[in-house]
Amino acid sequence: MIKYNNIYNISIFIVLYIYIELMSVPLIYIKDGSIKDIPIKDAIKEIYYLRYKIPTEKELKNTKLTVQEIKTMVSSNDDYIPLYDVFVSNIYLIQKRNVYIRVVKQNYRFPDEIIMNTIKELSNEKNIKKSKLIFEFIGQLDMKTMYEKYLDVFYRYSPIANLQTYTCMRKSFISHTEHLQPYYSKDEILKLGLNMGIIHISVPYIDYKDSLLTKDYQDICFKIQKNDISSKVLLEHQKHIIENDMDGLMLYYTIQGSYFMNRYLRSNTGYYNDYLEDNIIKVWKHVLEAPAFDNDYYLYRFIETDDHLSHLKIGDTYVEKGFTSTTRDPFYKIPLYQFGFILVKIKIPKNIRGVGLCLELISHFVQEEEIILPPLTNLKLVSKDDKCPYYHIDDEFENIVVKKYEFEWVKNSGKIIIDKRNILEKDTQVIDFLKIDLPKGKTLKDKADYFVNKYCDKMFRIKNIINDKTLYVIAEYYDSTGPYQHVYHSKVSNGFSLYTIYDKYVLFMIEIYEKDGINKIDVNYYRELSKSNIDDILGDENFIKYISSIAYYFDVPYATIYAEFSNCNKENTYQRGFKDNKYIKIEIDNDKYIGGRHCTDFYKYFKNGYKRYKNTNILSSELQPAFSYHLLDTLKNTSLEAILSERDRDEIYQIYKNTYNNNNNNIADFYIWLVENKCYLIDLYIDKISFVFRDRDNPFYSPKYELDAMCYLYNRHYVKTYNRFIVLTNDEIVSQLKLPKNEYRITR
């Protein structure tokens, strides 16, 4: 019997294959209105690209087929499945081998009745033409047959039978972000319903889940959506941050600032820090002016210990002296649960400005979905439960949460009050790295410790003068092997860094570290949101001298300086247009914010032929790009057809054919267009450029400049001699300074 069934299935497959490959359907050629026979395997693509259309009954005079039969035949081909991409609100043909990954990993969905109604509701004057084309295309298919093919393809090419896909959409979803998922899974819907008291169960969870009908899920969906902070609120808060020119400082807060600011506010430091207080006041004031929320919402915070809360009784008020970091995601799971196992749940009110500020759309750690409350926020304890049931999509986490506190927001201070502190007995030293005593010690760690002990003040600061500007520079050890690895170039456990904040933005970040027996310096590896132009503020040549002097002091002959990067936010002045070698701001729709990042050095070069450092007196033997301008030039004369194809498994080709209206069909001009219109696709596009180059030659994989620091200093007589080949020892220092190390995600 088994043998018979296998033979039968193979026979069916062969019949279907021959049917799809050899059969054709009559379609109307749009250009001249004639009827032509098109192979079934090509029909859906011909209709999608508006070359052909399904004929009407009136046009079918000389054929026995009906319109419905033609629709069914076209829809019987499963090579390509139409799926809806909520990020761009469009339908794309997805090759069958990609359907599973698009649905599960990239949130595409089959355009069922719910999706089509959503498209209709979201239609407006700006996208009415697109919506019309979508409905016309879908109307030419037999969607029942198409859905059967979709299910078959989805499960055929899925590594496991995935039952988590569902069409309950999140109010918070924003199409241009990568971290926000557009749909709830069924487990998320049910666990949220349980936590919110919407549903109650008296049987095992899995049995309850199996008993539910589609209508049951829909009813729960509508109720749990109410506690999802809307995309409108998230965008209003992002706009508030950007329009007040606070994105740089808030970005700094999400990685380094929260640790130092909260430690200072909670009186763990004894000295007045004017530099830090100035930044605290700016952040605090900005949170107090944050837009109001449109609804009452619950926020969540996971902590390791409750020593500061355990004494509270129901009805007591708790006042937090620092910024309170929370998440709007009830299922947020910190790696290794490093924030602890005690849940703090906070209810915040609607229609009151300054309750809290949503940071996630500008954060280094967007997946945290962070909302901060200002210092001196008053919270009233409404419940405390040592045996709380807390439902989580991760069963392990669900079992570890052992205590829950519930608070209600009462008020904030309405004003900024910071405890008085002692003034430092000695002023912070002004340092010139070329004039101070060279450090004692053999290892880089020895040198860093010597430098901190001898020159840094008690808050680990020095002052540097660059281009007649006096800057506070912060010294800090860092560990980039954990959650910070995407922020630093070097993946080391004990690196040393110097950085400064200028006019609310990180102006420079210098990594100094030893790896594989070699001392290295990396400059500005991850400074993508800074609007501070180093050349305008410090002067490129002054900055090169500064980097070279640090390299000399720490015995590091070479330094790597990374190209300028920008995020693709359309409010970013430094990425929109180019005139007289300066960026100009272009009027745009302020409600539109897009994701992605791009190299502004390459963008400037493609746009106007501008080369970074070309206006300095730095020699090519001292500073060289790690990429080739000649190879960038070849992209100006290379057709897009060299890297894009109708057979591609992504959407760039379809966007190029349907949206890109430009006669300059070369790789460089399309790069400019993508930066300005669909920047979130830049990384994918750069990978395609490797079809032109070998991977190691792709300029986009080496957006940096190599500085021979010792050569630069020697040529200008800043040093008399230097040793280009410096040998390191592997001696380990036993003692360690208590210099702050970046444990910001642990202590907040």
Given this model, what pLDDT does residue 304 score? Answer: 84
Pick from 283, 289, 413: nearest CA to 354: 289
Q: How confident is the model at residue 723 (pLDDT cuts 50, 70, 90)?
A: low
| Other beta carbons within 10 Å of 647 | 7
Structure tokens at 369: 């979905």
333 pLDDT tier (thresholds 50, 70, 90): confident
State both tokens at 642.
């060299």
Mean pLDDT (whole number) for 532-536: 80
Least Cα distance to 512 among 468, 473, 540, 467 occurs for 473
State percent of the chain over pLDDT 90: 46
Q: Give the tens place of pLDDT for each residue, 595-647.
A: 567 899 999 999 999 999 988 999 999 999 999 999 999 999 999 989 998 88
Percent share of the chain, pLDDT over 70? 85
Alpha helix stretches (DSSP H) within 638-680: 652-658, 667-677
Per-residue pLDDT tens digits for 424-462: 767 899 999 999 999 888 899 999 999 999 999 988 999
Res. 556: pLDDT tops 90: yes
Task: State how far the Cα of 459 lies from the Cα of 286, in Å rounded to an integer.
Answer: 25
For 386-397, the pLDDT digits (tens) are 877 788 888 777
Chain segment 265-280, per-residue pLDDT in tens? 987 677 888 889 999 9
Greater model confidence, 589 or 554: 554
> In angstroms, rounded to a whole number, what is the distance separating the alpha carbons of residues 587 and 15?
59
Which secondary-structure segment (H or E) carries 382? strand 377-385
Beta bridge partners of 514: 519
Tell me the angle at which helices 128-138 and 113-122 cross, rounded to the nearest 10 degrees.
160
- Asked if residue 44 lies in contact with residue 77, where contact means CB atoms within 8 angstroms, the answer is yes
| Separation between Cα atoms, residue 241 and residue 459, nearest integer Å | 28
Smallest Cα–Cα separation from 252: which of 490, 527, 620, 2?
527
Section 4-14 average pLDDT: 40
Q: Which residues pair with 475 in a beta bridge?
A: 498
In this predicted structure, what is the pLDDT of residue 741?
A: 56
Is the distance from CB of 366 to CB of 179 less than 8 angstroms? yes
Angle at 694 between CA 690 and CA 698, to 5 degrees: 55
pLDDT tier, 232 (very low <50, low <70, confident <90, very high otherwise):
very high
Give the per-residue pLDDT at 745: 46
Distance CA 449, CA 496 (A): 10
Distance CA 307, CA 321 (A): 15
Q: How many CB atoms lie within 10 A of CB 691?
A: 13
Q: Is the pTM of this model over 0.95?
A: no
pLDDT digits (tens, 9 = 90+) for 665-690: 899 999 999 988 888 788 889 989 98
Model pLDDT, residue 185: 84
Distance CA 655, CA 85 (A): 13
Q: List the domains of the chain with CATH numbers.
A: 2-156 (no CATH), 231-411 (3.90.176.10), 425-562+708-743 (no CATH), 565-611+627-702 (no CATH)
To 5 degrees, how large is the angle CA 134–CA 140–CA 145?
105
- d(C-alpha 574, C-alpha 604), whole Å: 10
Residue 214: band (very low, low, confident or very high) from pLDDT cuts 50, 70, 90: confident
Nearest to 383 by CA among 404, 400, 398: 404
pLDDT of 703 strictly over 80:
yes
> What pLDDT was estimated at residue 8?
39
Residue 204 pLDDT: 86
Instruction: Give the closest residue to 511 by CA, choosing from 480, 536, 537, 557.
Output: 480
Residue 593 scores a pLDDT above 60: no
Cβ atoms 171, 230 nearer than 8 A: yes
Whether the predicted pLDDT of 377 surpasses 90: yes
The upper half-sphere exposure of residue 392, i.e. CA atoms within 13 Å in the direction of its Cβ, equals: 20
